[in-house]
Amino acid sequence: MLIEIKDLENVFHIPEPWYIDNCIFDENKEQLDVYVKVNKSAPMICSNCDAERQRFFDIADYDQRWRHLNFLEYPCYIHAEHPRTDCKKCGKKHRVDIPWAIKTRAGFTKLFDAWIMMLVKDMPMSAVSRLVKEHDTRLWRILHHYVDNALATQDLSHVTKINTDETSSKRGHNYITIFVDSEKRNVIHVTKGKDASTWEKCKERLEAQGGNPDNVTEVCMDMSPAFIKGASEYFPDAAITFDKFHVIQEANKAVDAVRRTERKTCAELKNTRYVWLKNEKNLTKKQKGMLDKLKDSELDTAKAYRMRLVLQEIYQYPAQIAPMVLEDWIQWGLRCRLEPMVELAKTLRRHYDGVVQWFQSQLNNGIMEGINSLFQAAKRKARGYRSDKNIVAIVYLLAGKLDFTPK
């Protein structure tokens, strides 16, 4: 079957009044160049006022170039004349909008941009760069363009509940804080650091996109003093819920601290760390046997372990009685004479309101763990990112649920 020029115009998405004048494959450069001209007698649309049937005025650029999707395995470039119209309606001369490219972006077609956005979700930018044979700096510009435009049009007027957590962004003490809409489960703000000022930036972002901080009734987080301060200052009407998984994590840390101290004088505790930290259903057969042997003993570690189980079970109680049961547990912890468990009890007493708020809000940071996992996996594959701006863009790409439709 013979392929005609008209067929190629459909393949490369070249609409009227443009037409393909020539296609040249350069064997040395290993690339395909498609040369497009414009029918000067055809009516055009004014890019300023959208008036139709405007006449051609002149050619502003005779060889403007855009990188297109690969043709087979070879890079493909579209070279086109860029005409101007002399609009009778607005009385101005303007370049005609190019249908295969975004007006504000030069160098790439819409389809190439879409290809890159799809690849970057699953591949490190360096790998995408090698695949498409473009410098990664240019590809990062594509990502930032679409992320920035999507964020500018994001509607946050519906946000009433927020989850937040920090995650490591680079080696050393480098962190970003991620804020998520608890109901739609998408990232609404990402910022560098993990101090109280991150909440101020979240508030500013919310207000900029139509949200109202006064409408936020619930926030869920860990027991970070900085987070507590920031949430109380910038979202004073929101009830704070301390993530139940964080509470149990603190209990696990206390149990492990007891074990480490007792291990110095008790050979039975050798190689038993994960026996005490895992839920019983997740233990291996060997670990289960060790636990059955030790959990009812008089060891301090066994006592701390039983206290942790009771604390964990409180989250199964009805909301009407759970706060009272928790108060009993705190009193137990304060009297137990196991220093790490005493400190845990003091922590729960200080943050009692936020801990029991969970029984009303039922908020937890499970979604944050999922987002952190996505980001950390991407970071490992990429072996890190060169800038904080790139880090933020990747988080929005992976978990922002943004609309990347060209505007």
- Tell me: the pLDDT tens digits for 106-144? 789 999 999 999 999 999 999 999 999 899 999 999 999
Which amino acid is it at 198? T
Which of 151, 394, 375, 351 is closest to 231 using CA atoms? 351
**169-203 CB burial, b ≥16 within 10 A, e <16:** beeeeebbbbbbbbeeeebbbbbbbbbbbbbebbb
State the virtual CA torsion across 171, 176, 180, 186 in degrees, nearest 10.
-60
Q: Kindly report, residue by residue over 197-213, the tens digit of the pLDDT.
A: 999 999 999 999 999 99
Q: Is the pLDDT of residue 372 over 60?
A: yes
Q: Is the pLDDT of residue 1 over 60?
A: no
**Strand bridging mode 239-242 / 56-71:** unpaired
The answer to whether residues 72 and 28 touch, using CB atoms and an 8 Å cutoff, is no
Q: What is the mean pLDDT of the chain?
A: 91
Contacts of 265 (CB under 8 A, 6+ apart): none
Q: Is the pLDDT of residue 274 over 70?
A: yes
Helices marked H in 133-216: 136-152, 197-208
Q: Is the pLDDT of residue 9 over 80?
A: no
Q: Kindly report, residue by residue over 322-356, the tens digit of the pLDDT.
A: 999 999 999 999 999 999 999 999 999 999 999 99
Q: Is the pLDDT of residue 103 over 80?
A: no
User: Which structure tokens are listed for 149?
Assistant: 């435009």
Q: Is the pLDDT of residue 46 over 50?
A: yes
Q: How many CB atoms lie within 10 A of CB 390?
A: 16
Q: What is the pTM of this model?
A: 0.87
